[in-house]
Amino acid sequence: MNNIIQNQRKERDELLARPYLVRKSNTDTSVLLANPMIKLITGPRRVGKSTFALLMLQGRNFAYLNFDDNLLLSGWDEELVMRTLDEVYPGYEYLLLDEVQNLKDWDVWVSKLYRRGKNLVITGSNAKMLSSEMATVLTGRYLQV
């Protein structure tokens, strides 16, 4: 698991190093990130949800998990992942879960992280992220962006 998360950290850092076109937004990301509620970034495929999340967290101490990674999904062990995140990203303030809907029962796990006080930023496609199951588990705990 350590290798998987280390490789994802390299991926995150490479993505952050790319030049991006700055776009105007009505969202004040500092205010958004200061809110303890889950920041849920949804939208159709390929519109820039992950890029928006990365740029929102740029310059901050944040951990990153990309669930478009079969190695992460096939070796999933919730407790091992959390211990490894603490090792790879010591003292992280935010946790970015990219395409988390690919993880079975992701909404229950996210709810647990929220109860434990993690400051979460989540990306995912509209269809799965806003399903009735998700709405039930996370109702009142997220801000949709």
Can you give the CATH number for the domain in which 11 is found? 3.40.50.300
DSSP string, the chain: -HHHHHHHHHHHHHHHHS-------S--HHHHHHS-SEEEEEESTTSSHHHHHHHHHTTS-EEEEETT-HHHHHT--HHHHHHHHHHHSTT-SEEEEETGGGSTTHHHHHHHHHHTT-EEEEEEEHHHHTSHHHHHHHTTSEEE-
Give residue-wise pLDDT tens across range 77-100.
999 999 999 999 999 999 999 999
The pLDDT of residue 141 is: 83
Overall number of domains in the chain: 1
Instruction: Examine residue 91 and state whether it is found in any structural domain, yes or no.
Output: yes
Question: Is residue 22 assigned to a domain?
Answer: no
User: Which domain, by its residues, includes 75?
Assistant: 2-15+28-144
Averages of pLDDT over runs of 10 residues in the chain (145 residues) are 97 95 82 94 82 94 97 96 97 96 89 95 74 62 82
